[in-house]
Amino acid sequence: MTDDGTGLLTIGELARVTGLTVRTIRYWSDEGALPPVARSVGGYRLYDAASVARLELIRTLRELGLGLADVRRVLAGETTVAQVAAAHVVALDAQIRSLKVARAVLSTVAQRGSDAEEMTLVNRLARLSAAERRRIVEEFVDEVFHGLDTADPMIRERMRNTAADLPEEPTPQQVDAWLELAEMLQDPDFRAEMRKVAEFNAADRGHDTPAGTSLWFSRRLVQLGARARERGIAPDSPEAAEVLRELLGDADPGAVLDRLRSHATHRVARYRELLAVVKGAGPEAAYREEFAWVVAALEAHTGS
């Protein structure tokens, strides 16, 4: 405390009271966060008891990660601590998600034994922003369904809304799956395969067909195909013909076979597997074997 009876403190004395360094206090003062209340005869900055309280608040806000610009706004009454804190929570959440993805990328690189070039590619693709990942998915869906007005809208929306985002804490397997999926969605040959799937879907439906019918058929196919495999029914057996009748009803088996063949290609099946892995369900949720059984049964019983 100065000895002039004012009770004011120099920067050095303020540093001793608060435990902060003279350099830090001077910097905050220079930046306008802690203006002096007076100057000594020699021109030194002086501070009062209120400055000590203000300094403690500055330290707290800085430890919470606020920049000096935000600190000045809080101290000037232009915003509240709660408002600034809420904004920083959003920013920290984004940073945490990015760090989690970065950690998963590094785990993937470590498991692969990747070289520097591959690591750069893996990191760049995996850390695409959510908006960029969504753009990749939306461009893929728009191209696949362009002009197909009778295609099942629930299929379209399901494809549009799936796999755009990695989980908040992706595993290395999910990062790998997303990387492969991102490359696949941008591959013109794969887009052409999926276009054929969409065309079959659109041809099967009329304008008055309820949305979701295609999803219902797929679920029924998986259910019956799984049951047949569990019972050990061979695709070319008479029992398989009964399963097909239960699945198809009055539908043309040949037309259904053509449609399912488009779904059962290796790349389309791999696409379903990758989606399942990214969503945390595992590749078995793609039901590759169930689709393959039904296709084999149709081929056996239609003479195709």
Write down the pTM of the prediction.
0.53
> So where are the chain's domains?
11-78, 82-123, 128-302
What pLDDT score does 24 carry?
92
Spatial distance between the Cα atoms of 225 and 293, rounded to a whole number of angstroms: 6
CATH 1.10.1660.10 matches 11-78: yes
Tell me the pLDDT of the chain (304 aa) as tens digits: 554 556 789 999 999 988 999 999 999 999 988 999 999 888 889 999 888 888 888 888 888 777 888 888 888 888 777 777 777 777 777 777 767 766 776 776 677 666 776 666 666 666 666 667 778 888 888 888 888 877 777 777 777 776 556 676 777 788 778 878 888 888 999 898 888 888 877 776 555 555 555 667 778 888 888 899 999 999 999 999 999 988 888 778 888 887 777 766 788 888 888 888 888 876 666 678 888 898 899 999 887 6
What pLDDT score does 302 carry?
84
What pLDDT score does 247 carry?
84
